[in-house]
Structure 1
Amino acid sequence: MSTNANTNTSRRKLLRAGATLPLLPLLALVRPAAATPEDLRAAIAAYTGGAAPKTGKVSFNIAKLIDNGNAVPVTITVDSPMTAADHVTGIAIFNERNPETDIARFTLGPRSGKGEVSTRIRLATSQKLVAVARMKDGSYWQQTADVIVALAACIEGEAI
């Protein structure tokens, strides 16, 4: 009986090992979900239709050192008279290292009163943020902000 018990134990070990073997290549692909600087550039280009945004007109109000990345207050202000002929039509916020590059997109018009939006965002880690404003004349303006995040948010596992 002891030979039969040893054979059963060996067989179980072999079956367990064989069952996990096909999963090993997938484990190598699991990584924290994060965008890349290339993803950031691509997202901005998609928003602007390929136009290169100029730097200026946009103010980024966000703390440089963030204690907790789960709810970070941010305000984007665009220098615009907000008249029917000259106003902000959209503001978008992009990031470099969250799972998704688009954080938020806002639509504005002359009745908005001022070219300003405020919200709270989640940040996965220390990274660069970019705010892009679309103007009625078709021009795009941007501002960047580098932030340091002490306690990260948005950390997830993702299989490719």
Structure 2
Amino acid sequence: MTGPDRRSFLAGGAGLLAVALVRPAEAVERPPREPTEAAIRRFAGDAPIHPGRVALDLPPLVENGNAVPLTVTVESPMSAADHVRRIAVFNDKNPQPNVLTVHLGPRAGRAAISTRIRLADSQTVTAIAEMSDGTYWSATADAIVTLAACVEG
């Protein structure tokens, strides 16, 4: 008896590849999205979050959600006694609510960050700053996205 010929070998390999590539929908379950409020509470704990001292610059109308410019500035002298410890940015509709967290100190000179983020849809973005005295300050901005990013499936 001879071994499998080339044609049988290739057909069997193609069948195995097809089985490996086709997965039922239930096999691709994603964990549930953490609510934005829960992510904010994980950042700030039970401390009250006050509006003010934070400026969030985000375009109100975004043509492409893949690269949205974002600037956060915080009113602070950035001295050893009074400075920004952390700045965090959160969103309402992306797969992950925590967009970024930046750690600063008095030697940063200015409490300002600029970056580009991805937005999955039209939504509210929130920036929260933790000060050296343990207080939290925030600002929000709404963005209308015409071409969404972060689209899965």
TM-score (norm 2): 0.79
Unaligned runs of 5+ in 2: 1-23
Matched residue SS, 1:118? strand
- Given that 1:80 and 1:88 are in contact with CA atoms closer than 8 Å, whether structure 2 keeps it comes out as yes
Give distance in 2, aligned partners of 1:147 and 1:116. Answer: 20
**1:38-74 deviations in whole A, cap 9, x for unaligned?**
x110000000012221000000011000000001110
> Root-mean-square deviation (CA), in Å?
2.0
Tell me the amino acid that sits aligned with residue 62 of structure 2: I
8 Å contact from structure 1 (residues 69, 149) kept in 2: yes
Does the alignment pair 1:57 with 2:44?
A: no
Cα deviation per residue 1:106-126 (whole Å; 9 max; x = unaligned)? 000001001101111000000
Q: Show CA shifts across 1:88-134 (max 9, x none).
A: 00000000000000100000000100110111100000001100000
- Following TM superposition, the consecutive aligned residue runs of length 4 or more in structure 1 with deviations greater than 6 angstroms are none
Rate the CA distance shift 1:55–1:137 in 2: closer, same or farther, 3 A.
same
Q: Counterpart of 1:108 in structure 2: which amino acid?
A: L
Q: Which has the higher helix share?
A: 1
* 1:72 equivalent in alignment to 2:68: yes
Are residues 148 and 34 of structure 1, via their aligned partners in 2, closer, same or farther at CA, if it must alter by over 3 Å? farther
| Cross-structure match for 1:110 | 106
Letter of the 1:40 counterpart: T
Name the amino acid aligned to 2:70.
V
